[in-house]
Amino acid sequence: MAESTIAQLLGQGLEDLDAAFGASLQRRKEAIDEAAHWPGSERNTCVTTYSHLPNGYRIRFRKPGKDALKYPYDMTPQLWKGRGDTGLLPTFGELYGWLEDLRRDPRGIEALDIVATLLLRDAYMLDHTSTQDGWRYCPPAPVVSQLESLAPTIGPMATLNVLHLVDAVALNEDVRYSTGGGPTERGRYNNLLTAVRMITVMLDRERLSSAVGRLVQGGFGGVSPLEATEARRRLPLAHGAESDGAVAHLKAEQDIEWVLSQARGLTPTEIDERAGTVNRNHKDTGWRNGVIMEALERECAPASIEYLKQHAVLRVVRLNHRLRPKENVLLCGLDMNSIGNQTWETSPAARTIMKRHIFVVLAEDRLGDERVARIRFHSFGKQNIASVRKVWIRSQKAVIAGRLDRLPKASTKDTRVCLINTQDPKKGLRSGPGGTKVTARSLYLNPTFLRELLDRP
């Protein structure tokens, strides 16, 4: 089947991840409620058939599971054939080993792309259908057929059986953590997005250090989920009809990230010295941005630079020795003379917040030198964008009313994504609405929000 058709099937429902998550909560709740009422107790072990698969296989749940003392509704998913359990229940570690072996196959990359996208969809139960028994996993037949033509088996198991068994494990994770309190990000969501993250590492679309970093930290329960928006960006098939453009953007970001990674541990001055750049004006407040941008223009492919200029925003973040921002990080400027005639949709703020943001972090070492410490790509979600929109609208209303004292003010407990500040009044005096004098202003990222963003694994 044509790749475009496969992409269209896999992209359905992933256009709006916030809406997909919200819609999945009811399906997950109903699935949890069904499983919680299956028979089985410490004194009376029962096995419930969950779904039937080709060639006489079945997915069944044995209840209680091995962790029932800690999680009362815990179960053990099993793959049966005929009258007996096959004993094939891989841990996620074993599953990752099988997928690594698949990666070495000539057609493995294409197969892993499909598997990862199916798991992303499974996190939202997008491929579950409502039956008389309850919600059951039913991935699109054309997609499964294409996957099986590329990889008939994953490890010692038929590919379709692996997909169904992983879904069964995800259901049990939901039951373990969510019964009584309703579904949350724990359980199905976190476990499947961790699997997606590991596959993107195998596909060289995610850094191993980022994935492992969270796994070795305490308090995360052995999971390292990839943010859903990032997962979608790294999986072109999740973009449906726009998959070709997603591939081009992904390649551009990989190119940019590779060039920036070569600057890790260097100061901006050392980057300049390597390039033979001399006499740079360090009095210019944006000189560090200039160093990074020139390095990208020297080393990246032209298509990557075009992507950066059209679809992304480069920001340098300076941290002190305590890893706190040393200065405000600009989101965008506000033209106080024209903001009254703008709409949010056509404003520079809206255009900027919709773009991909690339943060190059300079951290201060013990000697006070700022060195490239990390690179983070980020896309602002709906809630973040709504927060920026709220600040922008309040600013617009204050300007139209001629009441600049009503502009949004920051506080130490502020949780908004962005705040508003005044630039140098001597340089920023302009004639505002009604001939009043106002100062040029800008929206900058809230330091609290920025710290949380950069601290994420």
289-306 residue pLDDT tens: 999 999 999 999 999 999
Position 256 in a domain? no
pLDDT at 419 (0 to 100): 79
Asked whether 407 and 394 are in contact (CB, 8 A), the reply is yes
Residue of 143, 53, 150 lying closest to 99 (CA atoms): 150
Position 102 in a domain? yes
Number of domains making up the chain: 2
Position 155 in a domain? yes
Position 31 in a domain? yes
Final residue of a structural domain among 213, 244, 275: 244
- What does 140-173 look like in DSSP terms, one character per residue? -HHHHHHHHHH-SEETTEEHHHHHHHHHHHHHHH
Residues 38 and 165 reside in one and the same domain: yes
Residues 343 and 450 reside in one and the same domain: yes
Q: Which range among 214-223, 307-316, 328-337 shows the weakest confidence by mean pLDDT?
A: 214-223
Residues 158 and 124 reside in one and the same domain: yes
Domain enclosing residue 345, as ranges: 262-455
9-61 residue pLDDT tens: 999 999 888 889 889 999 999 999 999 888 887 778 888 999 999 999 999 99
Report the 10 Å Cβ neighbour count for 29. Answer: 14
Residues 45 and 138 reside in one and the same domain: yes
Residues 129 and 204 reside in one and the same domain: yes
pLDDT at 316 (0 to 100): 93
Average pLDDT for 107-134: 94
Final residue of a structural domain among 244, 279, 311: 244
> Any idea what the CATH number is for the domain that residue 404 is in?
3.40.600.10
pLDDT band at 138 (very low <50, low <70, confident <90, very high): very high
Position 250 in a domain? no
Mean per-residue pLDDT over the chain, rounded: 85
Residues 59 and 207 reside in one and the same domain: yes
pLDDT at 179 (0 to 100): 58
pTM (global) more than 0.85: no
Residues 239 and 307 reside in one and the same domain: no
Position 177 in a domain? yes
pLDDT band at 413 (very low <50, low <70, confident <90, very high): low
The residue among 159 and 425 whose pLDDT is bigger is 159
pLDDT band at 167 (very low <50, low <70, confident <90, very high): very high
Tokens of 173: 């994770």
Tokens of 197: 């993250």
Q: Which range among 89-93, 146-150, 158-162, 304-308 shows the weakest confidence by mean pLDDT?
A: 89-93
Question: Residue 217: is it exposed, middle or buried by C-beta count within 10 angstroms (0-12/13-18/19+)?
Answer: exposed
pLDDT at 219 (0 to 100): 47
Three-class secondary structure assignment of 177-234: HHCCCCCCCCCHHHHHHHHHHHHHHHCCCCCHHHHHHHHCCCCCCCCCCCCHHHHHHH
**Lookup result for tokens 């551009």:** 252
Residue of 84, 35, 90 lying closest to 63 (CA atoms): 35
Position 50 in a domain? yes
Tokens of 220: 């995360």
Residues 281 and 389 reside in one and the same domain: yes
Residues 274 and 404 reside in one and the same domain: yes
